[in-house]
Amino acid sequence: MMLSPKASYQAAPATTMSTMGSMAAINPSVQYSSQMPGSMNSINSYSMSPMNNMGSMNMNGMNSMNGMSPMNSMNMNTMGTMNQVMSTSPAMNMELARASSLANQMNAVNRVRTDNKTYRRSYTHAKPPYSYISLITMAIQSSPNKMVTLSDIYQFIMDLFPFYRQNQQRWQNSIRHSLSFNDCFLKVPRTPDRPGKGSFWTLHPDSGNMFENGCYLRRQKRFKCPKREAQRVTQRDGRTDEHGEETTGSTGSPHMTDTTTAQQQQTQQQMPQPKVEPHTMSPPPPNSIQSITSMSNNVPTSLAMARPIPQQAAYVSGMGAHMLGPESYYDPPLLRW
DNA sequence: GGATGTTTAACTTAGG
DNA sequence: CCTAAGTTAAACATCC
A265 touches strand B (CB under 7 A): yes
Q: What is the pLDDT of residue A11?
A: 42
- Confidence band for A290, pLDDT divided at 50, 70 and 90: very low
A2 touches strand B (CB under 7 A): no
Q: What is the pLDDT of residue A107?
A: 62
Among A236, A280, A239, smallest CA distance to A258 is for: A236
Among A199, A206, A190, A172, smallest CA distance to A275 is for: A206
Could you read off the pLDDT of A108-161 as tens digits, one per residue? 655 555 555 445 555 556 788 899 999 999 999 999 888 999 999 999 999 999
- CA A45 vs. chain centroid, Å, equals 23
**Rounded CA–C1' distance between A175 and C5, in angstroms:** 15
Tell me what the mean pLDDT of segment A239-246 comes to. Answer: 44
A11 touches strand B (CB under 7 A): yes
- Say if residues A12 and A34 touch (Cβ distance below 8 Å): yes
Q: Which nucleotide is nearest to A131 (CA to C1')?
A: C6
Q: Which whole-number Å values give the CA distances from A106 to A82, A122, A128, in the listed order?
A: 16, 7, 10
**Rounded CA–C1' distance between A81 and B7, in angstroms:** 39
Q: Which nucleotides of B are covered by protein (CB under 7 A)?
A: 3-16
Q: What is the pLDDT of residue A288?
A: 33
- When comparing pLDDT for A229 and A328, which is higher? A229
Could you read off the pLDDT of A13-44 as tens digits, one per residue? 333 333 333 333 323 333 333 333 333 333 23
- Say if residues A129 and A21 touch (Cβ distance below 8 Å): yes
The yes-or-no verdict on residue A221 having pLDDT over 70 is: yes
Could you read off the pLDDT of A244-258 as tens digits, one per residue? 333 333 333 333 333
Among A7, A331, A337, A286, smallest CA distance to A141 is for: A337
Q: Which nucleotide is nearest to A5 (CA to C1')?
A: B11
Residues 1-30 in A having a C-beta less than 7 A from any atom of strand C are: 2, 4, 8-11
Q: What percent of chain A has pLDDT over 90?
A: 15
**Rounded CA–C1' distance between A287 and C12, in angstroms:** 40
Among A142, A204, A199, smallest CA distance to A327 is for: A199
Q: What is the pLDDT of residue A99?
A: 73
A7 touches strand B (CB under 7 A): no
Question: Closest residue by Cα to the C1' atom of nucleotide C10?
Answer: A2
- Confidence band for A309, pLDDT divided at 50, 70 and 90: very low
